[in-house]
Amino acid sequence: MMDSYLRSLSDEDVLSNLDSLALVDARVDELLSKVEKHNTSALWTELNKLYNDLKRAQMMNDAQSAAYLFGQIESVIKRGAEEAASWGEIFGLLDLRRKLTESEQRRLINLKEVFTADQGVAIIRLIVQIVKKHVQDQETLQKIADDINDRLATATNPFSNFS
């Protein structure tokens, strides 16, 4: 468990939902391949035929055939119930997939709204170059540089209390 914990801590994409989306997609594909093997209308047709055969066997007092047909009916009902449960799981997974997709989309948008420390340094350098280009007075340039250095050195958020 500790290895998994440490691996998760070092994972830069720990907030990404792509792995979860892939897992959900794989499970949906697996379930769909199973339910596609069973045609619901074919199950109903088979069940109806077995039921009619069972009624005939009962009318003829054929207990052995009736017992066999009852077992067959039970088997078809179980297959239908399993298919219904699979569809329930599929719909639940599709809803989970929608939520994961929305979350991943928000995460990607947030990544674009946040810039890295390197990008922040590049912005500061750009601003300094622009100021140096347009301000010729050395004393004013020094005051601006001192202000920038003070803010960067003392504040966790250099833009707080900006006045």
> Taking a C-beta distance cutoff of 8 angstroms, is the pair 43, 79 a contact?
yes
Give the per-residue pLDDT at 125: 86
| Model confidence, pTM | 0.55
Q: Among 5-14, 33-42, 51-60, 137-146, where is mean pLDDT lowest?
A: 5-14
- Of residues 32, 23, 17, 21, the one with CA closest to residue 91: 32
Res 153 pLDDT > 90: no
Q: How many CA atoms does the CB half-sphere of 69 hold within 13 Å?
A: 18
Domain parsing of the chain, residue ranges: 16-113, 117-154
Give the per-residue pLDDT at 70: 95
- Of residues 152, 162, 156, 154, the one with CA closest to residue 123: 152
pLDDT tens digits, 53-106 = 999 999 999 999 999 999 999 999 999 998 889 999 999 999 999 999 999 888
